[in-house]
Chains A and B, each alone.
Chain A
Amino acid sequence: MSKDFEQQLRDALRPVDPEEGFEQRVMARISSEPARTRAKVIRWAVPLAIAASMAFVAILGTYQWQERREQQGREARRQLLEALRLTGEKLDVAYQAVNRESPPPDDGNGA
């Protein structure tokens, strides 16, 4: 009896087809969707573009930072060399002045 009842239930619930043209109606709704390949590209392209932009900004920033550091280093080196050169010149002047003003050494015979 249970088996018969289940078979009756199965008969009562036999699958039915949708109304004619269902496939066309689904495809019409889908035609308003972005194309699958395009949708796929868009889905990947947006995060990729964001990631690429961020990477580009990071690389550019790093490059500029390094460039600035090198420029500062070059400027410091130039200033150091300039300072050394000036110091050297002043030392030369001082050395010459000292030599010029000093009396010749006494030879000890009173002449």
Chain B
Amino acid sequence: MKASEAWSPDELLTRATAGEAAAFAALVRRYQRTVYSIALRMLSDRHRAEDLAQEVFLQLYRSLDVIDSDAHLALWLRKVAVNRAIDRIRQEARHDNEPLTEADTVVDEVGDADPLLQRRMAELVAQLPPAARAVVVLRYQEDLDPVDIASTLDMPINTVKSHLKRSLTALRARVLGAAIVDDDIQPSVSEPSR
């Protein structure tokens, strides 16, 4: 067992801020899944997601002094990952309606869920406009509630709820192939269980 695994999250942060490489490496291990997954869902490309995730951690390395707790770190990483991804999408002016290749649609198949349906849903999420995609990813991948999403994206809470409602409606309609869309679909705002 590595010594860094015995450190508490806040201790990791303190040591990393003091310049301990092992502590920073442990922070990367701790948050690489979160940052990479956000980048992948937003960019729909493994290589660009990896590159963006690396850049986020590089930016973290340069900005450790402004992070004051592990909770702040988690918020900061999500915010930077999402904002960088949105910036990159806008710069490249593509992807909004670009269908994904099979290799890029990554789903971690679990339980008795239909893998084809999961893949289809991931594809459809990737086709949402960047801001709506970010809201959906933070809600259903990161399990953030609308208040935390609003804080992460610097977005009014009502805009977050609106994105959620409209995205769910659109996704549901396309997944089910339904001609009639139920306008009354409301996203649940309770804390989801994992």
Residues of A within 8 A of B (CB): 2-3, 5-6, 8-19, 22-23, 25-27, 29-30, 33, 35-37, 39-40
B94 contacts across to A, CB distance below 8 A: none
Which of B5-13, B54-62, B81-89 forms part of the interface with chain A?
A: B54-62
Q: Determine which residue in B34, B58, B136 has the highest number of CB atoms from chain A within 10 A of its CB, and name it.
A: B58
Q: How far is the CA of A19 from the CA of B192 in the complex (A)?
A: 27
Given A2-B185, A18-B53, decide whether A23 and B37 contact each other with a Cβ distance below 8 A.
no
B125 on interface, CB distance cutoff 8 Å: yes
Tell me, rounded to whole Å, the shortest Cβ–Cβ distance linking A21 to chain B.
10
A30 contacts across to B, CB distance below 8 A: 21, 24, 57-58, 61
Contact A13 B36 (CB under 8 A): no
Contact A16 B40 (CB under 8 A): yes
B118 on interface, CB distance cutoff 8 Å: yes
Given A2-B185, A3-B188, A29-B54, decide whether A10 and B140 contact each other with a Cβ distance below 8 A.
yes
Contact A10 B192 (CB under 8 A): yes
B187 on interface, CB distance cutoff 8 Å: yes
Q: How far is the CA of A8 from the CA of B137 in the complex (A)?
A: 13
15 more A-B residue pairs beyond the given contacts A12-B125, A18-B50, A26-B58, with a C-beta to C-beta distance below 8 A: A3-B188, A5-B172, A6-B192, A9-B168, A10-B192, A12-B119, A16-B33, A18-B36, A18-B53, A22-B36, A23-B25, A27-B24, A33-B58, A37-B18, A37-B19
Residues of B within 8 A of A (CB): 16-19, 21, 24-25, 28-29, 32-34, 36-37, 40-41, 46, 49-50, 53-54, 57-58, 61-62, 64-65, 106-108, 110-111, 113, 117-122, 125, 136-137, 140-143, 168, 171-172, 175, 185-188, 192
From A17, which residue of chain B is reached at the shortest CB distance? B33
A2 contacts across to B, CB distance below 8 A: 168, 172, 185-188
Q: What are 8 A-B pairs with beta-carbon distances under 8 A?
A: A2-B185, A11-B118, A16-B36, A18-B32, A26-B58, A27-B25, A27-B28, A30-B61
B141 contacts across to A, CB distance below 8 A: 10, 13-15
Tell me, rounded to whole Å, the shortest Cβ–Cβ distance linking B61 to chain A.
5
From A32, which residue of chain B is reached at the shortest CB distance? B58
A39 contacts across to B, CB distance below 8 A: 62
Tell me, rounded to whole Å, the shortest Cβ–Cβ distance linking A25 to chain B.
6
Contact B28 A22 (CB under 8 A): yes
A22 contacts across to B, CB distance below 8 A: 28, 32, 36, 50, 53-54
Tell me, rounded to whole Å, the shortest Cβ–Cβ distance linking B29 to chain A.
5
